[in-house]
Amino acid sequence: MKRLGVFAHWDKDNFADDYVLYYLNSLKDICSTIIFVSDCERLSNIEEVSKIVDFTIIEKHNEYDFGSYKRGFLFAKENNLEFDELLFVNDSCYGPFFPLKSIFDKMSKKKCDFWGITRNNFGIKIGNTNLHTWSPHIQSYFLVFRPQVFNSPVFMNFINGITHQDDKAEIIYKYEIGLSKLLRKSGFKSGVLINRYFFTENCMLAKWKRLIKWYHCPFLKTSIPKYGIYMLGEVTEWRDVIPSVSDYPLDLIIKNAGRFKVSEKNQYAELNLYRKIRFRVLNNMPTGFREVVIFIEKNTFKLLNALCFNKLKKF
């Protein structure tokens, strides 16, 4: 099978990190053609990238991942590249921890028109309110489309309609949620590798450990090692979790996260008293019990938001 992979990249230092090069090399096992699209003005190590991929597009466009997906796909169409399956992936994940070929072999047996690794079972926060729109969708860090989708006018119109958005939530709502919603509305059937219902908005953040250990999810979001303390308390467990299931080189994560993450001491100093106490208490709990407490805490606040939104807004 001829498979086209479009890889969306951005880096604050105009650099393709080693974990990105590892990911690109892994894609060669499943892709006959790889287009690397970077939302950077330049790329300091473009020679290294060019040795791995077939085409590079380095262009500052400020349209984020979907803008890169758009440019890669349109480039393929304009240059009459032949492919039987289309893959959109980005640099927001470390991995893969497991061979991608086995994943594609498994998904090839499923009757669906497009698929991904995980599904967001809820939706996204609406604007500056505390309300959420409910719209389950395939998460866009890894999307696979079959010919009936990427050859359709619906898909082409969607791609051509991608423009710059100032708010990240708008990007998710219009493009990540919007794409799944549009394709399903047009009669296309979606599929997902890890078909489990997680009572959380983003299982890749809240359930990352369970996904990797129990369901062999091939990726870890880069935001967990970089900024994990702000989400669920200390999450350095990835140093133990990943080696327990994979031989993925941890040095790639350590090196990349070190370029972004401020020291834990400085992070901790920025927390207010309540968050300091909460952090200490949660961090001293057994892992399973901590997850239950966080689950109850999050969903209690969701329920209060839904029942008392008008009063909370006045408050």
| Structural domain spans, the chain | 3-202
Give the mean pLDDT of 69-96: 98
What residue has token string 């939706």? 123
- Pairing outcome for strands 119-120 and 114-116: unpaired
The yes-or-no verdict on residue 268 having pLDDT over 50 is no
Provide the H-helix boundaries in 79-167: 100-107, 147-150, 153-160
pLDDT band at 298 (very low <50, low <70, confident <90, very high): low
**Stretch among 63-77, 92-106, 127-141 having the lowest mean pLDDT:** 127-141
pLDDT band at 190 (very low <50, low <70, confident <90, very high): very high
Between 207 and 201, where is the model more confident?
Answer: 207
**Stretch among 109-113, 277-281, 290-294 having the lowest mean pLDDT:** 277-281
Give the mean pLDDT of 128-157: 85
- Pairing outcome for strands 114-116 and 93-94: unpaired
SS3 content of the chain, % helix, strand, coil (to 5): 50, 15, 35
Give the mean pLDDT of 290-302: 69
**SS3 category, 144:** strand
Q: For 158-169, how does the pLDDT look when each residue is reduced to its tens digit (9 = 90+)?
A: 999 999 988 777
Options 3.40.390.10, 3.90.550.60, 3.40.50.720, 3.40.50.300; CATH of 3-202: 3.90.550.60
Nearest-angstrom CA–CA distance, 65 and 82: 23
**Stretch among 21-35, 179-193, 195-209 having the lowest mean pLDDT:** 195-209
pLDDT computed for residue 284 by the predictor? 60
- When the pLDDT of each residue in the chain is averaged and rounded to a whole number, the result is 85
pLDDT band at 207 (very low <50, low <70, confident <90, very high): confident
**CA-based R_g, the chain, Å:** 20
pLDDT computed for residue 24 by the predictor? 98
How many Å separate Cα 58 from the centre of its chain?
A: 21
Sheet with 55-58, side-by-side order of all strands: 55-58, 33-38, 3-9, 85-90, 142-145, 114-116, 190-192
- Cis peptide bond upstream of 99, omega within 30: no
